[in-house]
Amino acid sequence: MEGQQLKPIAILGAGSWGTALALYLARRGQTVRIWSIEESEITAMITDKANNRYMPGFSLPDQIHPMTNLEEAVSGVEDVIVVVPSAGFRHTLAMLKPLIGPHVRITCAAKGLDTDTGQLLGEVAEEIFTRQRPFAVLSGPSFAREVAAGLPCAVVIASHHKPLLADMMQRFNSPIFRIYTSDDVTGVEVGGATKNVIAIATGISDGMELGSNARSALITRGLAEIIRLGTALGGKLETFVGLSGLGDLILTCSDNQSRNRRLGLALGKGRDLLEAEKEIGQVVEGKRNAELIAKLAKRHGIDMPICETVWQILQNKLSAKDAISILLARSAKSELLSS
């Protein structure tokens, strides 16, 4: 593929993941415009020729153009990748809507639920742009720093729009960034949002030094919770045992590059929540989405004790020690996913 023949692509969100995607595409010869609502972040990127706040140690190649003006960033593009935190997703799309024509496609690389409504981000996009707007979700086990460093990974792009899937495959797929396609937008989104809450739980367990057995149990039962919720919302079972489900869950729960796991580790060691967040220094999506996922599960009558317990801990209604005791004291039952 010759990246120079492709139109410029706009990435909205200049955090670690947005920067990593920009670096990857630029190295493939593609022109990338990167924008953030935080003008100071973009100004610093222009001055430093790097994103020293979120992705230090990587110079920005000439193909990356940081921009403070959203209208200029999306002018003439065919594809926009939205990588803002889930809490800012709706507002970003609302700003984007009057600036783009009907031909522009949206790919969501954020993970989470809408803060105001608890909707999946794809539902928010459909509400703002209608179902006719081509929409895709990019998700899977992929730490930003490893992608920026050129280390291999495999992810999923899900969409109901086949031309968009084909074009995203052309843009992204390579031996070090393997793309798998799917039409299960809901399943991919649910896996990406919910695994962050389970990662907090496994971090708490490891922070309390409960051992590898406990971590494995939490990951496995956490997957059962994800499957129960995801299939109830219309996702496909096979999605949750693939890269954007089990793959992303294992990565986020087992490696300290995960901000969600690190938050859990701090809580398990008895650290203060606000202090732990400040030390991490970036958005912890699992903390933001624990309440939304617990409420979504309750609304659909889905039993998600791990996610519910994490939410109780984050509200200071339960200590980490008491929470683990409650989980371990739950009544014995069949391991069937529907139980």
Q: What are the residue numbers of the active site?
A: 195
Is residue 138 within 8 Å of residue 168, measured between CB atoms?
Answer: yes
Cβ atoms within 10 Å of 318's Cβ, excluding its own:
17
Going by C-alpha positions, the residue among 290, 277, 268, 245 that lies closest to residue 112 is 290
The Cα–Cα gap between 122 and 291 comes to: 19
| Residue list, annotated binding site | 13-18, 54, 111, 140, 142, 144, 195, 248, 258-260, 283, 285
Strands 153-159 and 177-182: parallel
Query: Is residue 237 classed exposed, middle or buried when 0-12, 13-18 and 19+ CB atoms within 10 A define those classes?
Result: middle
| Residue list, annotated binding site for NAD(+) | 13-18, 144, 259
| Residue list, annotated binding site for sn-glycerol 3-phosphate | 111, 140, 142, 195, 248, 258-260
Q: List, as one string, the DSSP characters of 316-337.
A: TSS-HHHHHHHHHTSPP----T
| Residue list, annotated binding site for substrate | 111, 259-260
Q: Which residues of 107-128 are buried (b: 16+ CB within 10 A; e: fewer)?
A: bbbbbbbbbeebbbbbbbbbeb
Is residue 15 within 8 Å of residue 259, measured between CB atoms?
Answer: no
Is residue 190 within 8 Å of residue 235, measured between CB atoms?
Answer: yes
- Counting Cα atoms < 13 Å in the Cβ hemisphere of 65 gives 15
